[in-house]
Amino acid sequence: MQKCLDSNNNIAELEKRIQEILKKLEELNKADTNDKNPKDFEETEKSLHSLTRTLADLYAAMRLQKALDASKQEATKAAKAYHKSMKNKGLRVVNIRFLGGTEISLIVTYYARNCDERRRRSKGYYPGLILLGIHDGCTSELASEISMACAALSSFEEARHMLEGHGCYLNIKTIRNVMKRFSARARLSQEAGVFTDAIKADGKGRHIVVSTDGGRVRIRRTKRGRRTKKNRNRFHTDWREPKLLCIYITDKQGRSDKRFSPIIDGAVGGGPDYIFQLIQSYLKQMHITPDDKLLFVADGALWIWDRVEDLKKALGLCQEQVYELLDFYHAVEHLGKLADLNHKWSAQERKKWISKQRSRLKDGSIDEVINTVKAVCEGCKGKEIERERDYFIKNRHRMGYAKMSRLQFPMGSGAMESTIRRVVNLRLKSPGIFWSEESANEMILLRSYYKSKRWSFIKNMAQHSVIKAVA
């Protein structure tokens, strides 16, 4: 049966189906029927779009079959370069789903390890398809559309419903698997440094703002011990902190420059060192020059500030061009906590005191604020009040808000807070939703690139993954 497989016959069959669709379109166009009401016109439009989608998929399938036939030598080379011994096992019928949702059979050369094919562990692959960016039984453009729907919408169910509206009928398990592998391929390309110059941020004397922070998401871990009555695993559902980064450029007014899409990325479980490795990688791609100025703005978390100095050295940055800033609104929040700890003050006195210190912070009178904080804490005992006092003392050199205002830099990490909300809170953090660490990382990557309007970058990374890593 395998000997009867012929790509030329398959192309002829596709051409026959194309002619049938064209005939149906012509008949529908010539049909002497009037659309008397909105329902009639709706049905006509649906029929036309359904036929044209199928027609486009058939044309794409025919081109893909010809491309596979023309690239047999490249596929053989790719199979020989594979890290395991692969052997040509002949032609196979493979069902590929195209952008319009049509599933079409193609004839593709199959490679597998030189062992008994009846063994389940004997797995092979189709290098011809991978060379053309086709994974998981669907074209690269369809995989991108599926993944983008998962990243943009609030659930996989909504993604399934939206895809059905475009003529692509897939179950949730398939949608989830396509999304996960699309994200995994993109991350592999990123880690391999495939797109080291993908970020374009031209200009002299740029003001670059770097910020990082953490959110909250519930991660599911399998619990050891007996299973449920339905023979399902029990789980730990602990809260974890996904760490995100945000890099953007400001214009002359100190606002985010719309000509440069911000860079957003992050992960669960990678830890602070992983996040700063990502920051270092992205900043290298931006080609920092001595004319550029960088601002690291964040809250008072020690895991951030302890690593900024190492990052400066790794990037070869001068001390004069790098600034550290404590988020102004976090500083004001700590003023409020300190005022609340003084039980002798009335609510009006607390409000007046906070307002006065806030104005001093903005004006650059940092020493006055520090002295006032020390005076308020003098004679008071307790870990809480000592912690609030030390917060201001330790971060004194990171409170140059007046200077940042003159340099047209932002005073706070509002962009970072917005990033946490849009990437994590609105997609991964919902009642009754638990993620595996792997799935959470995949969704954070997709969601980050989608929200930063950089989807074309992640699509290219997923399409050009190294064959050895993904086959």
Same domain, 61 and 136: yes
pLDDT for 321 equals: 93
Is the pLDDT confidence value at 336 over 90? Answer: yes
pLDDT for 1 equals: 40
* Helices (H) then strands (E): counts for the chain: 18, 10
Same domain, 466 and 391: no
Same domain, 391 and 466: no
Please answer whether residues 404 and 322 qualify as being in contact, where contact means their C-beta atoms are separated by less than 8 angstroms. Answer: no
Same domain, 383 and 465: no
The stretch 257-277 carries a mean pLDDT of 92
Please answer whether residues 205 and 186 qualify as being in contact, where contact means their C-beta atoms are separated by less than 8 angstroms. Answer: no
Same domain, 168 and 37: yes
Sorting pLDDT into bands at 50, 70 and 90, what band is 353?
very high
Whole domain around residue 14: which residue ranges?
Answer: 2-193+460-470
Same domain, 20 and 138: yes
End residue of a domain, out of 390, 411, 432: 411
In sign, the C-alpha dihedral spanning 233, 239, 240, 242 is positive
Same domain, 349 and 464: no
Same domain, 354 and 465: no
Same domain, 37 and 146: yes
Report the mean per-residue pLDDT for the chain: 89
Flag whether 335 is in a domain.
yes
With CA atoms as reference, report the closest residue to 465 among 125, 188, 128: 188
Q: What is the pTM of this model?
A: 0.89
Same domain, 154 and 85: yes
Is the pLDDT confidence value at 18 over 90? Answer: yes
Sorting pLDDT into bands at 50, 70 and 90, what band is 4?
low
The count of structural domains within the chain is 2
The stretch 264-283 carries a mean pLDDT of 92
Is the pLDDT confidence value at 176 over 90? Answer: yes
Same domain, 373 and 465: no
**Residue whose entry in the numeric block shows the structure tokens 């993944």:** 147
Same domain, 11 and 160: yes
Flag whether 165 is in a domain.
yes
Flag whether 167 is in a domain.
yes
